[in-house]
């Protein structure tokens, strides 16, 4: 897939019409990149990605958006975390992120119900970050966190440790997003937990495995 800092909001020419298929992730929003007042990902298609369609740890950006994306047959469609003020210093920095005008499909007719990790030892690399929701269901949007500092993923567990110092001051807006193919388990799967757990359009953070 892709990795980067997105594009400035309103830029409809620099990163458009891209498609990702059969990858680990679709777009990895890189929190190490330079900040800008507003950052976005626009017009992206991702399908049959094993882990996430769009993942982000977006730092030093008060507003970021995901617009006109089409996602299907992915472990997690979108999971975004915002990084703001220093909680230990009692800073408050409002973080806003918006997902709009998009389509997210849990299981399409082409879905193979497979949760087998990618081949070629992709998940053995220390930065592969092959984390998935437990126990192995499809999730459209995971509600992320507004934290004081980045967790430096993929080396550390995804934002569930108490030392991440959440600032709890963020706002997620979901506008004109169509969800489909959720609500049923993957009956054809060979994994018992996957057959028992229904796919969900929205979810909070997953419990540890």
State the pLDDT at residue 3. Answer: 85
List b or e across 148-182, with b for residues whose CB sees 16 or more CB atoms inside 10 angstroms. Answer: bbbbebbeeebbeeeebebbebbeeebeebebebb
> Would you state the structure tokens that stand for residue 91, as one six-digit string?
């800073």
State the pLDDT at residue 166. Answer: 57
Phi and psi dihedrals of 27, rounded to 5?
-140, 125
State the pLDDT at residue 118. Answer: 59
Say yes or no to pLDDT of 66 above 70: yes
As to burial, measured by CB atoms within 10 angstroms (0-12 exposed, 13-18 middle, 19+ buried), residue 140 is buried
Say yes or no to pLDDT of 75 above 70: yes
Say yes or no to pLDDT of 153 above 50: no
Phi and psi dihedrals of 99, rounded to 5?
-115, 120
E strand intervals along the chain: 2-4, 7-8, 18-21, 25-29, 38-47, 52-59, 63-72, 76-83, 95-105, 139-142, 146-147, 170-180, 200-203
Rg for the chain (alpha carbons), in Å? 16
Q: Which comes out higher in pLDDT, residue 60 or 20?
A: 20
Percentage above 90 pLDDT, the chain = 22
- Mean pLDDT for the stretch of residues 58-74: 84
Q: What is the pLDDT of residues 102-112, one digit of tens each?
A: 999 988 877 76
Say yes or no to pLDDT of 149 above 70: no
Q: What is the pLDDT of residues 185-196, one digit of tens each?
A: 776 666 676 667
> Would you state the structure tokens that stand for residue 46, as one six-digit string?
């991702």
Q: How far apart are CA 136 and CA 32, in angstroms?
A: 29
Of the pLDDT bands very low, low, confident and very high (cuts 50, 70, 90), residue 175 is very high
The mean-pLDDT minimum among 39-43, 90-94, 148-152 falls in: 148-152
Say yes or no to pLDDT of 100 above 90: yes
Q: How far apart are CA 199 and CA 149, in angstroms?
A: 30
Of the pLDDT bands very low, low, confident and very high (cuts 50, 70, 90), residue 155 is very low
Nearest 5 degrees, angle CA 190-CA 46-CA 55?
90
- Mean pLDDT for the stretch of residues 140-145: 82
């Amino acid at each position: 897939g892709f990795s980067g800092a997105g594009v400035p909001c309103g830029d409809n020419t620099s990163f458009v019409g891209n498609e990702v298929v059969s990858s680990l992730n679709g777009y990895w929003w890189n929190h190490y990149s330079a900040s800008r007042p507003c950052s976005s990902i626009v017009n992206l298609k991702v399908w049959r990605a094993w882990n996430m369609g769009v993942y982000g740890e977006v730092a030093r950006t008060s507003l970021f958006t995901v617009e006109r994306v089409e996602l299907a047959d992915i472990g997690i469609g979108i999971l975004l975390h915002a990084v703001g003020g220093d909680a230990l210093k009692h800073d408050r920095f409002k973080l806003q992120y918006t997902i709009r005008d998009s389509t997210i499909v849990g299981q399409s007719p082409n879905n193979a119900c497979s949760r087998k990790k990618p081949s070629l030892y992709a998940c053995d690399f220390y930065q592969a970050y092959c984390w998935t929701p437990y126990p192995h269901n499809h999730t459209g949007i995971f509600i992320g966190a507004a934290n004081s500092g980045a967790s430096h993923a993929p080396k550390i567990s995804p934002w569930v440790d108490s030392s991440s110092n959440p600032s709890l001051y963020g706002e997620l807006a979901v506008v004109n997003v169509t969800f489909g193919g959720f609500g049923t388990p993957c009956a054809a799967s060979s994994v018992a937990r996957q057959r028992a757990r229904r796919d969900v359009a929205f979810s909070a953070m997953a419990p540890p495995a």
